[in-house]
């Protein structure tokens, strides 16, 4: 059962990747936009996909992995459901962004090394300037920008998302019980 399920999944995965490669005309020079498109699809770059891309573009895997690890934007590991980015650009830094980062790490049990929380709900990253310096210090949750943050507000924000997730889970569970949701 499980294996069959996996095969279907993988076929689907490579179908999407092939679509992306088709759109970029299998050009090695399009490697970065290709990886970006793949990451948009999966939120990260799975290893097997990278090797598949290398073969398809007729490039050595080292070249593809070299590019994937060079650029900060590419993630080789799966991220949490919500990505929290704390801006540590100069303007945010001088307005005390580090205490905010530490407060969020403390709240979620994450750290510089362990960026994703154990429940896989959050990934905490720092980013060097989002260009919203007028609002410093800035925290971005998914795509939403929050300006003028303080450690307290950041923790409250994180907890609010947690509560929504719990409420959402409860709703989904209730819906499943009512037969509104088809479980595969």
Partner 1 sequence: MSTNEGSVVMNDSPGAGQTAMRRVILCAGTGCMANGAMKVFERFRKEMDQAGLNVVLELRPEAGDRDVRLSKSGCQGFCQMGPLVSIVPDGILYTKVRAEDVPEIVERTLVSGEAVERLLYKDPATRRICRGLEDNPFYARQDRRVLRECGFLDPEDIREFMLHGGYSAAKKAFLEMSPENICKQISESGLRGRGGGGFPTGRKWEAARIQKAAKKYVICNGDEGDPGAFMNRSVMEGNPHSVIEGLMIAARAIGADQTFVYVRAEYPLAVERMNRAVADAEREGILGKNVFGTGLTLKCNVLEGAGAFVCGEETAMIASIEGRRGMPTPKPPFPAQSGLWGKPTIINNVETLAHVPRIINEGAAAFRSIGTPESPGTKTFALTGHVANTGLVEVPFGTKLRELVLEISGGITDDNGKPMKNGFKAVQIGGPSGGCLTEEHLDLPLAYDSLRKVGAMVGSGGLVVLNQRTCMVSMARFFMEFTQRESCGKCVLCREGTKQLLALLDDVIEGRADAGTLDLLEKLGRAVQVGSLCGLGKTAPNPVLSTLRYFRKEYEEHIFEKRCRTGRCKALLKPEINAERCKGCGLCIKSCPTGAISGEKKKPHHIDPELCIKCGACATACKLQAVEGV
One character per residue 158-177, x = contact with partner 1 (rule: CB under 8 A): --------------------
Please state the closest distance from residue 167 (CB atom) to partner 1, in A: 23
For partner 1, the closer CB: 150 or 159: 150
Cis peptide before 20 (omega within 30 of 0): no
Cα-based angle 93, 102, 126 (whole degrees, multiple of 5): 55
Sheet with 144-146, edge to edge strand ranges: 122-127, 82-87, 139-141, 144-146
Please state the closest distance from residue 88 (CB atom) to partner 1, in A: 8
- Nearest CA-CA partner of 130 in 141, 120, 119, 122: 141
Residue of 3, 11, 58, 143 that binds partner 1 (CB under 8 A) = 143
Please state the closest distance from residue 5 (CB atom) to partner 1, in A: 33
Map the footprint of partner 1 across residues 77-136, applying CB under 8 A. 88-91, 93-96, 127-136
Contacting residues toward partner 1, per CB under 8 A: 27-33, 35-36, 63, 66-67, 70-74, 88-91, 93-96, 127-136, 138, 143-147
């Amino acid at each position: 059962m499980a294996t069959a399920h996996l095969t279907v999944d993988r076929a689907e995965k490579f179908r999407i990747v092939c679509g992306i490669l088709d759109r970029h005309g299998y050009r090695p020079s399009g490697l970065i936009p290709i990886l970006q498109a793949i990451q948009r699809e999966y939120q990260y770059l799975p290893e097997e996909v990278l090797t598949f891309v290398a073969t398809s573009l007729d490039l050595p895997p080292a070249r593809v992995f070299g590019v994937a690890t060079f650029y900060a934007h590419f993630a080789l590991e799966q991220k949490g459901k919500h990505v929290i980015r704390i801006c540590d650009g100069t303007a945010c830094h001088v307005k005390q962004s580090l205490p905010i980062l530490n407060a969020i790490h403390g709240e979620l049990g994450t750290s510089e090394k362990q960026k994703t929380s154990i429940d896989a709900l959050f990934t905490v990253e720092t980013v060097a300037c989002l260009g919203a310096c007028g609002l410093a210090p800035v925290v971005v949750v998914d795509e939403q920008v929050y300006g003028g943050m303080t450690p307290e507000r950041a923790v409250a924000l994180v907890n609010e998302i947690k509560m929504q997730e719990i409420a959402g889970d409860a709703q989904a569970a209730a819906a499943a019980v009512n037969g509104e949701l088809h479980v595969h």
